[in-house]
């Protein structure tokens, strides 16, 4: 008789089944519950982005060690989402696995994405407004907060798209790895490094940008609404391609393809 070690990480094939099952469960959430959990996720990512802003204040943002510290702090956002439980648009790109295997309909997938995207925006932007009203964005932190969206708005559309795709490949890999772990500590360690890498590399996350642009406006940034919207559109499309195509469909083919045909 073989006794399973409950401390061992799940193997990739088991992770694939768990991720697909989670996608089915997400798609069946009542809209009101889904929306509230999405607001929480937007706020959680916002907390990580706010902490990143504070860490990057007074340092050379192009300097590797300083960026690494900021990226580690930013990981707080996804840690809260995964351990606390919330609905994040970028992570929900993995739901494509369940849609391809016809365990959820395309309508259910798109409904989930739409509800969660709007909820993430409400949570992220609402937190940015709260920080602006708190006085925390006054002084040096505010100066940093104003510069962050200016750099994002300066990206060319294709650059924003590619950075979005690369970013969400890492985000979805972080979520994928978190499914391998059986403890909260293990999940945190699985999340930390892929998320730190995407921030360190200057990649683009749509939900984080839902926080950074309003935070910048609260700090006096001159970025226009149209520039922010353009960035969000291209980054969001990139996030979908990188997460759904780059990770979800690849792993579905590798580990679920034979069993589902």
Output the pLDDT for position 3.
45
State pLDDT tens for residues 106-146.
999 999 999 999 999 999 999 999 999 999 999 999 999 99
Structure tokens at 171: 């985000």
Where do the structural domains in the chain lie, given as residue ranges?
Answer: 12-260
Taking the C-alpha atoms of residue 110 and residue 114, their distance in angstroms, rounded to an integer, is: 6
* CATH for the 12-260 domain, from 1.20.1080.10, 2.30.110.10, 1.10.340.30, 1.20.140.10: 1.20.1080.10
Structure tokens at 205: 């996350």
User: Which of 227, 247, 228, 242 lies closest to 164 in space, CA to CA?
Assistant: 242
Does the pLDDT value for residue 1 go beyond 60?
Answer: no
pTM reported for the whole predicted model: 0.94
User: Which of 34, 190, 21, 14 lies closest to 94 in space, CA to CA?
Assistant: 21
CA 202 vs CA 46, 159, 161, 260: distances in Å: 17, 11, 13, 37
């Amino acid at each position: 008789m073989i006794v399973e070690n409950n401390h061992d990480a799940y193997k990739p094939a088991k992770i694939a089944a768990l991720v697909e099952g989670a996608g089915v469960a997400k798609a069946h959430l009542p809209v009101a519950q889904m929306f509230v959990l999405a607001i929480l996720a937007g706020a959680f990512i916002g907390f990580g982005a706010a902490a990143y802003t504070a860490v990057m204040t007074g340092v050379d943002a192009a300097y590797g060690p300083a960026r690494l510290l900021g990226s580690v702090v930013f990981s707080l956002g996804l840690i809260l989402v995964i351990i606390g439980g919330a609905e994040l648009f970028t992570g929900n790109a993995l739901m494509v696995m369940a849609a391809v295997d016809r365990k959820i309909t395309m309508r259910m997938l798109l409904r989930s994405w739409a509800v969660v995207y709007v909820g993430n925006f409400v949570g992220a932007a609402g937190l940015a407004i709260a920080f602006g009203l708190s006085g925390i964005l006054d002084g040096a932190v505010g100066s940093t907060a104003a510069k962050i969206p200016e750099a994002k708005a300066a990206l060319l559309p294709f650059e924003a798209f590619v950075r979005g795709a690369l970013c969400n490949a890492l985000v979805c890999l972080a979520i994928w790895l978190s499914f391998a772990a059986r403890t909260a500590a293990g999940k945190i360690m699985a999340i930390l490094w892929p998320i730190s890498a995407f921030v360190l590399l200057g990649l683009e996350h749509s939900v984080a940008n839902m926080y950074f642009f309003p935070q910048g406006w609260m700090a006096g940034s001159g970025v226009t609404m149209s520039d922010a919207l353009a960035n969000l559109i291209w980054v969001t499309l990139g996030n979908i391609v990188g997460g759904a195509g780059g990770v979800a469909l690849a792993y579905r083919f590798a580990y679920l393809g034979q069993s589902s045909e």
